[in-house]
Chain A
Amino acid sequence: MKALNYLKIIALLLPGFGLILFFLGMILYVAIFQSFGLFNLSGEDNFTLQYWEKLFNRKVFYRSVNYSLYVGVISSIISVALAYPIALWLRKPFYGSIIINSILKAPLLVHGLVAAFLFVNLVAYHGIINQIFIFIGLWDEPIRMQNDKNAIGVLILQVWKNLPFALLILLGSIQSIGDDVIDAARDLGANSFARLKKIIAPLTISSMQAALIIIFIGALADFSFQSIAGPTNKYSLSQLMLYYKNNGRWHEAAGVGVTIMIISFLGAIFISYLTKFIFFGRKINEFK
């Protein structure tokens, strides 16, 4: 009877969970094996470490890792940091809050490529911003803003796209904190920053971690924003992977893919521990 029950549960879970597990497993299997010379699409399978060695000997690989980490870390932190005050502002309904909330979530409906294209229209040499500033006399001649070397454009796009997502996750969590709890902190002398740091952030830490991790992984593996609005002298990891693949170097492309997965995994763990350490790290030892 017990076994039958387990079988029933497995049968019910299989269409959803099984599918996820199958595809995830397949991707991991193919990418990892391919990076070691197996699963060869244009020749014989040979287990080798040469593709990893090649990757580790190339500067472009490290630059891509650094650049992708930079975009991933900065965009996830800024998105969540900006989402918090907005979520706090929208915590209690007020006249017009539903409209504001809807507008803020609109970027979720715009595809990344479209957003990047619109952004380029804004910041291009002959784009709208340059034209406006020249028209009002603030600038004498157009400024080159497109594909800037510090990837500010990519970061703006990442934050624009991900802030609504962070808001979506954080808002529900912040709304679930009782007014009395926040009032109690205030009554005990906590100013706005202390309330955010010591009460609101720790109580919404799960949502914060989820938002940070998902945005970090998405931004780390960004392709569309980088291709259109990113610096031309740097490759993101996704771009590097595509470059290898387009040149028929499947094994190295798989190596970059595995690198993205490893960094995502380690990044998720690091974010979880770091946020916990920041908000729960210090213990009070009054009587010890």
Chain B
Amino acid sequence: MYSLEVRNIKMKYDNFTALSDVSLKVKKGEFVTLLGPSGCGKTTLLKIISGFITPSNGNVFINNEDVTKTPPETRDTAMCFQSYALFPHLSVLQNLSFGLIQRKVDTKKRSQILEEVVAQLELTTELEKLPNQLSGGQQQRVALGRALVMRPEVILFDEPLSNLDALLRESVRIEIKRIVKLFNLTAIYVTHDQHEALSLSDRIALLHEGSIIQIDDSETIYTSPKNKFVANFLGSSNIISAKLIKKGNKKNEWIFQSEIGKLVVYSEEVSVKPDVHISWRSEKVTFNKSSDNKIKGKIENIFFLGSHYEVFVKVNKEIVKINVSNKHLLNKEITFFLDKRDLKILED
């Protein structure tokens, strides 16, 4: 049984299609992130799940119950807004209690729930304060607490960290993950930040132009992008066009001719198209001579990024990007290696 199921959702605004045939199933306690660039339809999908938008077509099920036409006020979801949306005239305690009072939860149970959430979010000393007396991180915690006290079947996050500074973002991110796991909540999280998505999610649904392009766990979606868009959007990828020469001698080995030379690629596909795109992550280069693919090029640009150097290397006519942590390797020319398992054949 799924906590949330989105079935064949379509959303059209006059001539513009915001979502086209989107389906998604989320298990109880799963953390799914809707990731994508601005305008890809991720917030529209979140608003459909929360009930603020009724889809043109398709259905939303929560705990197997069709809630497509159920208004947000009676739907078993709770949303954490990008702007926090705290009620500015109410104290922290009143903000936290608001939903419970609306749902007519009796005073004893209300106190019990509030006490637990307040303690977990470390808001005990802030209860009498108004939202404008809190820091950004505290406001975020109140917004999270306000949603948590509702004990919703599905908790929804609409880019909740986008208004926080980098340092605070990291601590609130850890907090969100901890709380969601602690209360075993089913969470749908919208973001355009790949780091947030990768670090928080059990699964990531990557949206592009109103469709889910790929949905997989963080590691799979990162290491095995399905197509050029996914490879480009998530992490730093090199994508090169290549032609199939032949099947390799070893099992699942394919040999390609590309602009950076011959490449040996490992793929479990039964058949491979003659013209493909091959991608590899810039951090996947090694300087271990036993690797399958040896590539030599001229260094064009070097950028120091703290933990490593981002190096642009000209290989034949192609510029590729690699991450190098050892400064001594950075001469005029560089030779690096790619493991055949780190090269991915992209669809389309």
A contacts, CB < 8 Å to B: 178, 180-181, 183-191, 194, 198-199, 202-203, 280, 284, 286-287
Contact = CB atoms under 8 A, between A and B. Distances in A.
A6 to B, nearest CB: 32
Nearest to A184: B85
Given A187-B73, A189-B73, A203-B88, 4 more contacts: A181-B85, A188-B150, A189-B99, A284-B97
A183 B74 CA distance: 13
A226 B111 CA distance: 55
Contact of B93 (A180, A198, A203, A284): A284
B72 A183 contact: yes
Interface stretch (B76-84, B203-211, B222-230, B254-262): B76-84
Most chain-A CB neighbours within 10 Å: which of B81, B127, B146?
B81
A221 B89 CA distance: 34
A280 B94 CA distance: 11
A188 B78 contact: yes
A234 to B, nearest CB: 41
Interface residues of B, number: 33
A280 B79 CA distance: 25
Contacts of B71: 186
Interface string B48-65: 001010000000000000
22 contacts: A178-B83, A180-B83, A181-B85, A181-B86, A181-B88, A184-B81, A184-B86, A184-B146, A187-B52, A187-B73, A188-B99, A188-B102, A189-B73, A189-B74, A189-B99, A189-B103, A203-B87, A203-B88, A203-B89, A284-B94, A287-B111, A287-B127
A183 B78 CA distance: 11
Contact of A286 (B50, B73, B111): B111
B73 A191 contact: yes
A190 B94 CA distance: 14
Most chain-B CB neighbours within 10 Å: which of A189, A190, A191, A194?
A189
Nearest to B146: A188
B54 to A, nearest CB: 14
B79 A184 contact: yes
Nearest to B127: A287
Contacts of B93: 284, 286-287
A183 B79 CA distance: 9
Given A178-B85, A187-B77, A203-B89, A286 B98 contact: no
A185 B98 contact: yes
Contact of A185 (B87, B107, B110, B127): B87
A192 to B, nearest CB: 9
B115 interface: yes
B114 interface: yes
A287 B103 CA distance: 19
A157 to B, nearest CB: 35
A189 B102 contact: yes
B265 to A, nearest CB: 48
B72 A286 contact: no
Contacts of B111: 286-287
Contacts of A186: 52, 71-73
B87 A286 contact: no
Contacts of A180: 81-83, 85
A24 to B, nearest CB: 33
Contacts of A178: 83, 85
B308 to A, nearest CB: 39
A95 to B, nearest CB: 13
A190 B85 contact: no
Nearest to A177: B88
Interface string B98-131: 1101110001001100110000000000010000
Given A286-B114, A287-B115, A183 B81 contact: yes
Contacts of A203: 87-89
A286 B110 contact: yes
A194 to B, nearest CB: 6
A188 B75 CA distance: 9
Contacts of B99: 188-189
Nearest to B47: A183
Interface in B224-243: none
A187 B78 contact: yes
Closest 6 CB pairs of A and B: A188-B99, A189-B102, A180-B85, A184-B85, A180-B81, A187-B79
A178 B163 CA distance: 16
A287 B98 CA distance: 15
A183 B85 CA distance: 8
A280 B91 CA distance: 11
B87 A181 contact: yes
Contacts of A185: 87, 98
Nearest to B75: A187
Contacts of B146: 184, 188
Contacts of A184: 79, 81, 85-87, 146
A234 B86 CA distance: 51
A190 B87 CA distance: 13
Given A183-B52, A286-B111, A190 B73 contact: yes
